[in-house]
Structure 1
């Protein structure tokens, strides 16, 4: 049984597409470590990365912290992270580890973590209990930070519009196929900073905006869309309602990229609190 406050459909949302998620989603950019280490004022002794998924946000800290623990409730995502650690990042095994767990019930000692991070994940967590638990495990002066990139990335307005249309249609189809009580519950990202402030656990709060360029071709841009949970949720029902739309979107992306690999801009919003 999952801890009170968690939503099973939120955990299940990410089952079955861990490989595509890991292949196409952006890894946490270097700016995350630079910003948080500067605010902390020292090299982190322990980073707890909540909702770490396949480890895209966890491995960032392999050479930038004494220890980092990625915590993930979804078995498929957690398994992918563990596999990557043993096969692709064996040199980080002394620093990085992964655990199955939930954001509001952490198997960590009080006052043990310098940083608690949530990359692309805080909106899937019950915020009040998660912030209370983050505050418990943070050291005095430790930092809670949740950060998300804007979807879609920035490079061409016609393809961005097509991306938005595809995602919106997926959400509309999902609303018809799955009863509200069985759909994932998502908290507004725009409310993150307010939630951190209203928790009363942090002496300083702030929203920070930064950007990162990454290489992208047609396959990756389409993969970014297909890695979105709403679209995957439709596909997992067995529905073919999106097949023609996905094909049209793929053709448009292939026509634009024309075999090229281009730099595209991912814009990030970090909301943080200093305990």
Structure 2
């Protein structure tokens, strides 16, 4: 990966870590159950790479002996460390600065590596080689992602998609060529795992999780999308009024109530 792409990908997540942490879904317990089932034992060491604010790291506290959250963004990692302190600094969990293709871990030392909403920001070839290096024989790599937007109301979902598509377009228009972030296609994750030749078994698993949500959170999930944040930072001021229109429509639809919304996940995994 070019250095300017790597830098742009990291900087994309600067400035909205609290918004991200407060509104994005925590990884559901199905992640732990699925991966522990395939590992066939309690994992000793977990690495959660591109862990952000730790939403996908804390779920392992009662299910693994050692958990390391790896995150290159100082903003995101600071929120993870704050959450860690608020939970009495559990000794089995730590957060470190790092990149997916340069992990600070001995070879064949890790049982499970996860990438929650993050693998598409990593150059797949060098990342998978590094993951295979640190995984033990029989160890598991799993990249899992939400389908956006969460399922709730078709009209709201359509407005959500239109807003984010416009924001992504404006971000591409406004960013200088050498400062544009680059993401790899999530639908090709499984193909990259298989074509690497580093894993003896690979599979895609789809699962779902219902969560309670109010209008504020639903609107803020859209606001926490990187494309919208990037476009706003680059001066696409017209998006602020469009977002406020979206927020009002969400509030009208929720009508002051807390509702159930459905997050759908796609996990692409490989077993070494």
Cα shift at 1:240:
1.0
- In 2, the alpha carbon distance for the partners of 1:239 and 1:3 equals 27
Deviation at 1:238, TM superposition (A): 3.4
Aligned partner of 2:100 among 103, 107, 118: 103
Matches within 5 A, 1:187-206: 187-206=184-203
Deviation at 1:5, TM superposition (A): 9.4
Structure 1, residues 150-194: CA drift from partner, whole Å, max 9, x if none?
A: 000111100000000100111121122113331110100000000
Q: Which residue of 1 aligns with 2:117?
A: 120
* Structure-2 residue corresponding to 1:32: 31
Decide which moves more: 13-22 or 178-187: 178-187
1:53 is paired with a residue whose SS is: coil
Q: For 2:236 and 2:188, locate their aligned partners in 1 and report how far apart those are by CA, in whole Å.
A: 33
Tell me if 1:265 matches 2:225.
no
Alpha carbons of 1:246 and 1:5: their partners in 2 closer, same or farther (altered >3 Å)? closer
TM normalised by structure 1 equals 0.96
Structure 1: gaps spanning 5 or more residues: none
Contact 2:26-2:56 at 8 Å conserved across structures: yes
TM-fit CA distance, 1:239: 3.1
> What corresponds to 1:144 in structure 2?
141
- 1:71-220 equivalences in 2 (<5 Å): 71-87=70-86, 89-90=87-88, 93-220=90-217
Quick one: distance in 2 between partners of 1:77 and 1:130?
20
Q: 1:60 is matched with which residue?
A: 59
Q: CA deviation at 1:4?
A: 6.0
Answer whether contact 2:144 2:266 (CA < 8 A) is retained. yes
How far the C-alpha of 1:54 sits from its partner, in A, is 0.3
What is the aligned partner in structure 1 of residue 13 from structure 2?
14
1:3–1:105 contact (8 Å) kept in structure 2: no
Between the two proteins, the alignment pairs up a number of residues equal to 272
1:11-56 CA distance string (max 9 Å, x none): 0000010000000000000000000000000000000000000000
**How many angstroms apart in 2 are the aligned matches of 1:153 and 1:239?**
25
Q: Structure 2 vs 1, CA of residues 4 and 140 (structure 1 numbering), >3 Å: closer, same or farther?
A: farther
User: What RMSD in Å do the two structures reach over aligned CA positions?
Assistant: 1.4
SS class of match (1:155): coil
* SS of corresponding position for 1:242: helix
**Equivalent residue for 1:69?**
68
Q: SS at 1:84's partner residue?
A: helix
Change (3 A) 1:101 1:25: same
Deviation at 1:93, TM superposition (A): 1.5
Unaligned runs of 5+ in 2: none
CA distance in 1, matches of 2:172, 2:47: 34
